[in-house]
A and B are shown apart, each in its own frame.
Chain A
Amino acid sequence: MSRSASTATETEQRAADRETMSMVQAINSALHCTMAADPAVLVMGEDVGFFGGVFRCTEGLYEKYGAHRALDTPITEGGIVAAAIGMGVNGLRPVVEMQFADYIYPAIDQIISELARLRHRSGGEFFAPVTIRAPCGGGIRGGQTHSQSPEGIFTHVCGLKTVMPSNPYDAKGLLISAIEDDDPVMFFEPKRIYNGPFHGHDNNGGGSGSWNDHPLGQVPVGHYRIPLGKAATIRAGRQVTVLAYGTMVHVAAEAIRTSGIDAELLDLRSLLPLDIEAVAESVQKTGRCVVIHEATRTSGYGAELVAEVQETCFWHLRAPIERVTGWDTPYPHAFEWEYFPSQRRIVDALQRTLAYH
């Protein structure tokens, strides 16, 4: 058998193992895989059981694994996380769904003071392997309580891992890693790209696509992991490094494409731990950096990125590091596209950075 023939067979085999999935389906598939593999894994949260979740991410789990493993809960986020901690301490591996990231706050004490610190305060005796999934981000006319991106609050807490995928392939592999990780993981799902990539609302090249047409919408049906703490290079480039995650990866990619700037785009995927090696390698090559997120600006995760880049790349920088973020206001219902960081705002920042010689 010739080498090329054997390669073709492998490729075919891999293709056969893959299916086109939306991000919702990929997340659902990750839950099916982990629940099939380990009876200690269960999902719990508001409307996740019989109904299959308001975004359909837990569909089919109730029928397949029963009411106790696709566990509908009372509406008390603090109670849900607290119960998940207790269940985790007693050998289970709960995957909590917060119906919206905006509704995590009633659970904040259980997350910050308990979940994140349990291992440390008990001298390593106790831990709770809880994953908290939360749909985040704007772009669905959700107003101020269905649009927030609170990831920066959690990266600020010691003891939590924080993840935000930007596509179905990553979502599944990262979620499986998160669930199988013995440390607590905050897993943010940008709901604007649940059903297709989104390029921003700008008139030029804006709008949404479908995951059917996207290479990362081809997702292995079986079990696989993407390690937490590894960034992905979406586009190699020489002029400037763009750091983004979640929905903004797609908006940034389109902004780069339409502007013709030779930017290197990194999808961080995991905010904590951060793949600082990949970030530093890129910025040391390009000498310029633009940081993008949808969350509010002040004390946001972008500030941490800017500090890290400055610390690791100071002697390579040829321009001040730029941040493109949401405004420091609640997410306004009528003005969500003026709030949402647009391609145009990104291109402006890229050009400002490139103007330094």
Chain B
Amino acid sequence: MPMVTMTVNGQPRSAEAEGRTLLSQFLREALGLTGTHVGCDTSQCGCCIVEVDGRAVKSCAMLAQEAEGARITTIEGQAAEDGTMSKVQAAFVQEQGLQCGFCTPGMVMSVTELLRHTPKPSIDEIKHHLEGNICRCTGYRNIIKAVLVASDQPLGALASDH
């Protein structure tokens, strides 16, 4: 089996991968990074989103061998070394932007990419950017609130609980 080498959360990592090994499988099974969730395995839910060379992608729809030499960032790479959560993660906690938490790694990765190029997204921009992230629990309202908080914006009409 060919060896695949990539930089994952700043560390060089190598492991064997078949042609058909998905990046999601490689991260979870070969590298033990199980924070990347596999919800659908059919490119629909966004739970498996990681960053590849600075772009959010569905790791269930990319081959491990395609990531040879790439820079990968996963949910495990979001918090600081001392465990301090990233601003996006902390906002999800504060606004209760999660219930079961299954979609959360993908949500955090998508939002992190969004805020990098759009630091103050409107609610419509948030919705448009999160079209590929499905959440079965929250109804999305608290997720949108979390994005507003993470981008230092007022909650406006979403401030009330009703």
Chain A partners chain B: no
